[in-house]
């Protein structure tokens, strides 16, 4: 790839990221953030899942919302997010994949854990992965709230969700760059809200 061609590719990649971010509906971000904040307030559980790059994003998001919402001084009077990534127990995932099938690696975990009004977050570029769809189906049966960070046109799972943000790109690299930006934004949002809770608690 020549220098000029390389520069054009780099410029177009960043331009697409900027375009996708600009197209995100801020109202949808606020709605999802409010759902998660309500889960925090009401001691609901939050589960996150994804495949491939989205699996690492699920782990990253769970870690950040669990820890980085606390600030540097962990106030024991303030409740914490009850949040976990279903991608993190490799032994359990591979056991289900081996014994039941890969399509069930997330839904089988939810059968042990999810309750009514809990929250499931699915991170998926295509929106068509069978294991993601199975997990959403089971969460819907349990009357849980379903949220998606999606790409392309949202795929089959988009219509199954209560809330979604779809990054309108056909480039997985762009999609998997914008999804973390959304979750980092939400961590900052929760930090502000939780700091306000601390002020109320101290009064």
Q: How many domains does the chain have?
A: 1
**Phi, psi angles (nearest 5°) of residue 85:** -95, 130
Residues 118, 52, 17, 84: is their CA dihedral positive or negative?
Answer: positive
Count how many Cα atoms sit within 13 Å of the Cα of residue 199 in the half-sphere of its side chain: 6
Q: Mean pLDDT, to the nearest integer, of 115-134?
A: 98
Average pLDDT, the chain: 92
Among residues 197, 186, 172, which one has the least CA distance to residue 66? 186
- Give the list of residues 6+ apart from residue 22 with CB closer than 8 angstroms, or none: none
CATH code of 129's domain: 3.40.50.10490
| Closest by CA position to 118, among listed 140, 134, 96 | 140
Residue 199 has pLDDT above 60, yes or no: no
Taking only the tens place, the pLDDT of each residue in 62-98 is 999 998 887 766 777 778 899 999 999 999 999 999 9
Q: Which range marks the domain in which residue 117 is found? A: 3-202
* pTM score, whole prediction: 0.92
Per residue in 19-55, pLDDT tens?
Answer: 999 999 999 999 999 999 999 999 999 999 999 999 9
**Cβ-based neighbour number of residue 153 at 10 Å:** 11
């Amino acid at each position: 790839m020549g220098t000029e061609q390389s520069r054009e590719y780099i410029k177009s990649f960043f331009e697409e990221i900027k375009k996708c971010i600009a197209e995100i509906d801020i109202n949808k971000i606020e709605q999802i953030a409010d759902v998660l904040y309500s889960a925090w307030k009401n001691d609901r559980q939050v589960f996150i899942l994804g495949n491939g790059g989205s699996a690492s994003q699920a782990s990253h998001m769970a870690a950040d919302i669990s820890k980085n919402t606390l600030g540097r001084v962990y106030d024991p009077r303030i409740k914490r997010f009850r949040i976990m990534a279903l991608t993190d127990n490799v032994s359990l995932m591979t056991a289900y994949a081996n014994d039941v099938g890969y399509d069930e690696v997330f839904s089988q975990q939810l059968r042990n854990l999810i309750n009514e009004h809990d929250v499931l977050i699915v991170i998926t570029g295509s929106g068509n992965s069978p294991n993601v769809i199975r997990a959403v189906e089971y969460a819907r049966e349990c009357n849980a709230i379903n949220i998606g960070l999606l790409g392309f046109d949202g795929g089959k799972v988009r219509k199954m969700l209560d809330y979604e943000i779809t990054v309108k790109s056909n480039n997985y690299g762009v999609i998997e760059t914008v999804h973390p930006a959304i979750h980092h934004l939400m961590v900052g949002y929760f930090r502000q809200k939780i700091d306000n809770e601390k002020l109320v608690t101290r009064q």
